[in-house]
Amino acid sequence: MTSWKASPRIFLLSIAAATALAHTTWRVLLNNFVVEQIGMNGMQIGFLQSIREIPGLLGIGIILILWFCSEQRLVVFTLLALGLGTAATGFFPSHLGLIYTTLLMSFGFHYTQALELSLTLQLTPKEKVHGMLGQMVSSDAVASMIIFIIVMGLFHFGLLHYQGIYVVGGCATMAIALLIAFASPTFSSHTIQHQRFILRRRYWLYYILTFLSGARRQIFVVFAGFLMVERFHFSLTKMAFLFLITQIISSCCGPLIGKAVARIGERRALCIEYAGLLIVFFGYALAQNAMLAAGLFVIDNLFFAMAIALKSYFKKIADPADIAATSGVSSSINHIAAVIIPVTFGAFWLISPGLVFGIGACLSGISFLFALAVPHGTVEKCPSASLSGVE
């Protein structure tokens, strides 16, 4: 147990891995599950994904829960909810059943993500935050690789079908959550966190980039995988293999991306990410070849790994006492568009899939323009704010 007590690093990496095991299982099976077992179309899966994002929109609710429960204790409960929602998915192969299990899974996932970001930024010194964020990308990717291999093996050899694989992924996450609860000591932040709603004018650029990130990512999460299944008829094993490739690359590149962001700065890193995503989205819109679309899918995931630049940018500009509350607020901001886009763009999908990805390219271009407003070099933290929650 000494490794747990020496540093919060193992604790944080365990959260990242546990989150990946359940959410990756849910995500990699979803498109094939809804098409083969339930018979959903693009409009229906868009509606489901909008439902999935409601808990993210309610991320601000974390602030209220933290009045009664510490972040470290709460993350155990959110991981258990994530695992349980995932494990139950295969037992309810209907539209209504999928909505219920998705909501439970989603509350666990989105609240865990917000808590993970908050705890990482609080427990990691500013000079080490790039490296820690990069390691967490790798931890997520390694856990994802493990579950991809399990999915491919079990499904290919007929040992387990959808129901059984969902149980494996969900229970693995719940097991790690219990391990964290009983084996991890309590880690304390050096700064007492505000436990109220906080919206600061000086964080305006972070809020805008967070909003645009949520909008872009929804187009990828909802429709890129669906494109592979619906248009190019990728089987479950092919989708799992495609996800596996992306995670192998992410596990190798995560620490390198962290070091690169530290070296070139957040502004350049964000500009590279958004320019690359603009090209990728246009590629999706025009893709007529399965191998080209698969290549874009891999590149897309790699660019999204560069999102650590936005997190480290916030670490630099934030009042340390704002981190927990702002993590909840940013989760809600990130999901404003996320609730609207899947169901709305699901209707666009029925008209033209190219239109959906064309809008994604436009959002990437807008993000690039706002990224130019990120200051060069190290951004000094502003003086502590007044006691008012909104300024």
Band of pLDDT at residue 384, cut at 50, 70 and 90 = very low
- Please compute, for residue 53, the number of CA atoms within 13 A of its CA located in the half-sphere on the CB side: 26
Q: Give the pLDDT score at 84.
A: 96
Q: Are 118 and 324 in contact (CB under 8 A)?
A: yes
Please give the residue that has the higher pLDDT: either 71 or 269: 269
Could you tell me how far CA 38 lies from the centroid of its own chain? 25
pLDDT-based confidence at 203, cuts 50/70/90? confident
- Count of residues in the chain: 391
State mean pLDDT over 213-232. 80
In the chain, the domains with their CATH numbers are 2-186+195-371 (1.20.1250.20)
Confidence band (pLDDT; 50, 70, 90) for 87?
very high
Q: Is the pTM of this model over 0.95?
A: no
The rounded distance, in Å, linking the Cα atoms of 104 and 86 is 8
d(CA 117, CA 108) in angstroms, rounded, equals: 14
- Residue 206: its pLDDT value, please? 86
Count of alpha carbons within 13 angstroms of residue 246, beta-carbon side:
25
Predicted confidence at residue 2, as pLDDT, reads: 44
Provide the β-strand partners of residue 390.
Answer: 199
Least confident of 19-33, 91-105, 302-316: 302-316
* Location of structure tokens 């990828």: 220
- In percent, the amount of the chain with pLDDT more than 70 equals 87
CB 49, CB 192: distance < 8 Å: no
Q: Which of 47-56, 58-67, 97-106, 325-334 is most confident?
A: 97-106
> Which residue has better confidence, 365 or 187?
365
Q: Which residue has the higher pLDDT, 339 or 20?
A: 20
Q: How far apart are CA 390 and CA 197, in angstroms?
A: 8
What is the mean pLDDT of the segment spanning 16-35? 85
Check residue 53 and give its pLDDT. Answer: 79
pLDDT at 380: 44
Q: What single-letter amino acid sits at 203?
A: Y
Distance set, CA 323 to CA 66, 163, 183, 198, 337 (Å):
13, 39, 26, 10, 22
- The rounded mean pLDDT for the chain is 80
Q: Which residue has the higher pLDDT, 190 or 122?
A: 122
pLDDT at 378: 45
Cα separation, 302 vs 91, in Å, equals: 33
Contact between 53 and 106 under an 8 Å Cβ cutoff? The reply is yes
Q: What is the pLDDT of residues 239-291, one digit of tens each?
A: 777 877 887 887 777 778 878 888 888 889 899 999 999 999 999 888 888 88
pLDDT tens for 139-182 read: 877 887 887 787 777 777 766 788 888 999 999 999 999 998 88
CB 10 within 8 A of CB 190: no
Q: What's residue 195's pLDDT?
A: 56
Report the candidate in 22, 27, 72 with the shortest Cα–Cα distance to residue 173: 22
Query: Measured between alpha carbons, how far is residue 250 from residues 23, 41, 92, 253, 254 in Å?
Result: 16, 30, 32, 5, 5
Mean pLDDT of 8-32: 85
Q: For the residues 303-331, what does the mean pLDDT come to?
A: 75
Q: Is residue 339 scored above 70 in pLDDT?
A: yes
73's tokens: 């204790």
Instruction: Name the more confident of 96 and 301.
Output: 96
Rounded to the nearest angstrom, the gap between the alpha carbon of residue 16 and the centroid of all alpha carbons in its chain is 10
Q: Where are the alpha helices (DSSP H) in the chain?
A: 2-6, 9-33, 42-57, 62-65, 71-89, 95-123, 129-156, 162-183, 204-219, 225-230, 236-264, 266-286, 290-305, 308-317, 323-334, 336-351, 353-371
Is the model's pLDDT at 383 over the cut of 50? Answer: no
Could you tell me what percent of the chain has a pLDDT over 90?
15
Pair 18, 75: CB distance under 8 Å: no
CA distance linking residue 271 with residue 367, whole number of Å: 8
265: left (phi over 0), alpha (psi -120 to 50) or beta: left
Angstrom distance (rounded) from CA 168 to CA 322: 37
- Written as six digits, the tokens of 362 are 């436009």
Q: 391 pLDDT band (50/70/90 cuts)?
A: very low
Residue 268 Cα distances to 42, 373, 377, angstroms: 36, 11, 10
